[in-house]
Chains A and B, each alone.
Chain A
């Protein structure tokens, strides 16, 4: 079955006041691929992600998600999306297990086994209040909540930034396990190039408001003969 791209951005322009962040950006993410989005601080990764999700409206251009206009996404399409924002805001007065049960209640097909397994593997304190949890622990909870309903598209904004090395490796293995070839689409932004090469099959580099490079990581390496981090640095000096 040839399907539409999971995510399609065309000619996206978005400014904040006088500052133009995205300048006619194009990006297509085919269904079933795992794309890592690289960019310096302030390059517009979060803006790109929010445009793709229909959380902010670009001044120009079109954003499509699962074949629908991102700005007017149907409830059915929304139910097929999982999103972990960069800054996680969860009800501080709730306990972890209550939040999981509360979120699960919204979805007819919640994967209780998966969530239970990773709550245990990630040492998530089920009985603790969310308020005092560390940034890394909150991030873990947010990742689980975004995965529990078995989404077709998973969008993560710097998911591994606050995780310790062990949690990061466990998180990578979770994404690798979930990203069955051809089925689930994953888009994640990151600074950690080594993680990106493991988990992603392709990479998009955001620079000056546009995608400066998009393709297979192995093709980039065959061209440059250096690792991803060096390529990224060179691209910004050259």
Chain B
């Protein structure tokens, strides 16, 4: 699990980490049923307080995105809550609308935009 923490940001660390886990669940980088690192391990890896990681896991568990199995660890829920999926799609649609608007402003043709998106996706898959 790749997560970056930016202390210079105005966004709390807890929110930064939660957003990245949500995004990875939505993209499939984290698969349903997959085990997440232990609180201790992730805290050590990111060099942040264990209580901070614990709060993130608790929050995402309350959202239904993660499941905490007692004594066994934290897992991505088998079924992603539908509200979560809708929210993710919504967020993505907003970003795409922004990119489309920017492309129009810059005079980039739809075909070219498709190609750029395709190139970016290909790069991400390598």
Taken together as a complex, chains A and B put the C-alpha atoms of A225 and B24 apart, in Å, by: 25
B13 touches A197 (CB 8 A): yes
Taken together as a complex, chains A and B put the C-alpha atoms of A199 and B47 apart, in Å, by: 7
B7 touches A193 (CB 8 A): yes
Contacts of A179 in B (CB 8 A): 49-50
Contacts of B10 in A (CB 8 A): 221, 224-227, 230
Q: Would you call A208 an interface residue if the criterion is a C-beta within 8 Å of the partner chain's C-beta atoms?
A: no
Q: Provide a sorted-by-A list of 30 A–B residue pairs whose CB atoms are within 8 angstroms.
A: A34-B49, A34-B51, A173-B47, A176-B43, A176-B49, A176-B50, A180-B50, A181-B39, A181-B51, A181-B54, A193-B7, A194-B7, A197-B48, A198-B7, A198-B13, A198-B47, A198-B49, A199-B48, A199-B49, A200-B49, A201-B49, A201-B52, A217-B13, A218-B12, A218-B15, A225-B10, A227-B7, A227-B9, A227-B10, A228-B7
| Chain B residues packing against A (C-beta within 8 Å) | 5, 7-15, 39-40, 43-44, 47-52, 54-55
Taken together as a complex, chains A and B put the C-alpha atoms of A200 and B43 apart, in Å, by: 12
B49 touches A222 (CB 8 A): no
Taken together as a complex, chains A and B put the C-alpha atoms of A166 and B43 apart, in Å, by: 18
A198 touches B15 (CB 8 A): no
Taken together as a complex, chains A and B put the C-alpha atoms of A225 and B10 apart, in Å, by: 5
Q: Would you call A124 an interface residue if the criterion is a C-beta within 8 Å of the partner chain's C-beta atoms?
A: no
Q: Would you call A133 an interface residue if the criterion is a C-beta within 8 Å of the partner chain's C-beta atoms?
A: no
CB distance from A183 to the nearest CB of B (A): 10
Q: Which residue of A lies closest to B8 (CB)?
A: A227
Q: Report if A198-B12 is in contact (Cβ < 8 Å); known contacts: A193-B7, A227-B7.
A: no
CB distance from B3 to the nearest CB of A (A): 13
Contacts of B48 in A (CB 8 A): 176, 197-199
Q: Would you call A169 an interface residue if the criterion is a C-beta within 8 Å of the partner chain's C-beta atoms?
A: yes
CB distance from A148 to the nearest CB of B (A): 20
A221 touches B12 (CB 8 A): yes
Q: Which residue of A lies closest to B13 (CB)?
A: A197
Contacts of B7 in A (CB 8 A): 193-194, 197-198, 227-228
Q: Would you call A127 an interface residue if the criterion is a C-beta within 8 Å of the partner chain's C-beta atoms?
A: no
A218 touches B49 (CB 8 A): no
